[in-house]
Amino acid sequence: MNYPFFIARRYLFSKKKTHAINVISLISVIGVAVATTALVVVMSVFNGFQDLVASFFTNFDPQIKVVPVMGKTAPANDPVLTKIRRLPQVEVATETLQDMAMAVYNGHQAMVTIKGVDDNFADLTHITEILYGDGHFELHTANLDYGTPGIRLSAQLGTGAHWDNYLRIYAPRRQGQLDLSNPQDGFVVDSLLSSGVVFAVNQSKYDKNYILTSLSFARRLFDEPGKITALELRLKPGSEFDAVKSEMKNIAGDKYKVLDRYEQQQDTFKIMNIEKLMAYLFLTFILVVACFNIIGSLSMLIIDKKDDVVTLRNLGATDHDITRIFMLEGRLITVIGAILGIAIGLLLCLLQQQFGFVRMGNADGTFIINAYPVSVHYTDVLIIFVTVIVAGWLAVWYPVRSLSRKLL
């Protein structure tokens, strides 16, 4: 029988000569539980915001994006790209061409990103779900080209969802020499009609900068006939994403990069992961401070159980066994606090998901969502549990060994 564990368990739940020891032990458990709960809740809120941001990008970004490693453009008829788009798992393949330009409307101007897309762009993304206005998503009709700007860009240019006149687009001329006597000749100028709608991704990167239009318009504006900046893909439902992506990478070789949605927004998610890591480290420090309560509880317990220690030694217990009893006492407090904290944290997350008690603002519609988003990732829960156990066990290891030598 593992009698040190049995005695440690009895010490934890039995009454002590000094009632304060019971109180301090309870406070120790509560301290560890509160710190653990905070870790679970805060990490889950960070996960919720990450999932929320990812859902915004899903409406605009493709499932997979193939871009050239060298240079900005690639031939649309490249055999490598043709082989990738003809994979049986690919449901939709869209050629795109985008670059910087200047948009001018009624005296208002802004630097914009013109993104020319194929007619099947609406099948590739969920763009139609984030459109606002009385028109519909349209790229071209006969020889007329339409533009769909981001909602914040339309406000900056003063166009609204619908504009009556032409939206002028200026792009630097790529061929020939610049005539300094007439600088305007250094630009290719073209015009876009209004599609009657604007899109809102709820990310300023897109809403403030992008204009969607036809691929033919972008090629004409940037003088890139037969070129693309990316091949954007959507897979058939049920496709094994990782396997397909790996196959595409093998086909692309060193010539193209194959990017999933998270890799396309690597900078955004890297910043969010850094913020999450900083919050984790800060709360772990608070957890370590909470573990010092365990040291105080064990110190008083060691003093309280001096007579029991003498009895145990007379019965043949070694110094190692006695030290282990108090070590296990501290570890039991840590484990109980960790389990309670995780249970309470998961319960709070569930309640927030179901009822949204903690709200983002006082009125509905103030923010994109009304309540703080929460998403429980069980890998995070496992990491938190391990962190609490390691922090608690390390916090009691040296003090218990030191106090056992001095007081016993």
Provide the CB-side half-sphere exposure for 213 (13 A, CA).
29
pLDDT digit of tens for each residue in the chain (408 aa)? 476 667 767 666 666 555 566 777 788 889 899 999 999 999 999 999 888 877 777 778 899 999 999 999 999 999 999 999 999 999 999 999 999 999 999 989 999 999 999 999 999 988 888 999 999 999 999 889 999 999 999 999 999 999 988 999 999 887 655 555 555 667 889 999 999 999 998 888 899 999 999 999 999 999 999 999 999 999 999 999 999 999 999 999 999 999 998 888 888 888 888 999 999 999 999 888 888 777 777 777 777 767 776 777 777 777 677 777 778 888 888 899 999 999 999 999 999 998 888 887 665 555 667 788 899 999 999 999 999 999 888 878 777 777 666 655
Cα(377)–Cα(272) distance, integer angstroms: 15
Task: Give the residues across from 68 on adjacent strands.
Answer: 256
Confirm if 153 and 208 have CB atoms less than 8 A apart: yes
Residue type (1 letter), 286: I
SS3 214: strand
Cα(211)–Cα(204) distance, integer angstroms: 13
Q: Which residues contact 358 (CB under 8 A, 6 or more apart)?
A: 352, 371, 372
- 0.75 exceeded by the pTM? no
Confirm if 69 and 254 have CB atoms less than 8 A apart: yes
Cα(345)–Cα(343) distance, integer angstroms: 5
Task: Give the residues across from 73 on adjacent strands.
Answer: none
Angle ∠(47,281,401) on CA atoms, nearest 5: 135
Q: Which residues contact 97 (CB under 8 A, 6 or more apart)?
A: 73, 115, 116, 215, 218, 219, 222, 224, 227, 228, 229
